[in-house]
Structure 1
Amino acid sequence: MKSPPRVRHIRIESGALTLDYQAGAEQIDDVIAELSLDTGVVITVDDNVAPDLPKLPCAELWD
């Protein structure tokens, strides 16, 4: 049986835009790999997952 994914907080910053989401650790790794190509994007990941933090949009695309 597969264990549930570890959920983490991801913050994506680009200029004045700051986005905060919760997502599985593997999904976050994939997002980082894609967004790291753009040097204007700053990504921070931690374990501060608040209950009201929205899920990463289209999270199923990153599975």
Structure 2
Amino acid sequence: MRNPRHIRIESGELKKDYQASAEQAQSVADELTQGSPGVVVTVDDYVTEDLPTLPCARLWE
């Protein structure tokens, strides 16, 4: 994976952490925070080997 990033998606009690490429993470963050009140998406460099890959990551390329 090129430029892996940590992406955290939060909505109320739901908190999900994944790893994704920088481009995928930014695309997801842009899409989920547009017009979705209460959804918080954080992208950072805290990538660990145990983070699952973003589901359906190819859709965000």
Question: Is structure 2 residue 3 aligned with structure 1 residue 6?
Answer: yes
Which protein is bigger by CA-based radius of gyration? Answer: 1
The equivalences for 1:20-31 within 5 A come to: 20-31=17-28
Query: Following the alignment from structure 2 to structure 1, what is the Cα–Cα distance between the partners of residues 48 and 2?
Result: 16
Query: Following the alignment from structure 1 to structure 2, what is the Cα–Cα distance between the partners of residues 61 and 44?
Result: 19
User: TM-score, length-normalised on structure 2?
Assistant: 0.91
Q: How many residues align?
A: 60
Question: Is structure 2 residue 19 aligned with structure 1 residue 15?
Answer: no
Of 25, 36, 39 in structure 1, the residue corresponding to residue 37 of structure 2 is 39
What stretches of structure 1 move > 3 A for 4+ residues in a row? none
Q: CA RMSD in A?
A: 1.0
Please list every run of 5 or more consecutive structure 1 residues that lacks an aligned counterpart in the other structure.
none
Of 38, 50, 53 in structure 1, the residue corresponding to residue 51 of structure 2 is 53
Please list every run of 5 or more consecutive structure 2 residues that lacks an aligned counterpart in the other structure.
none
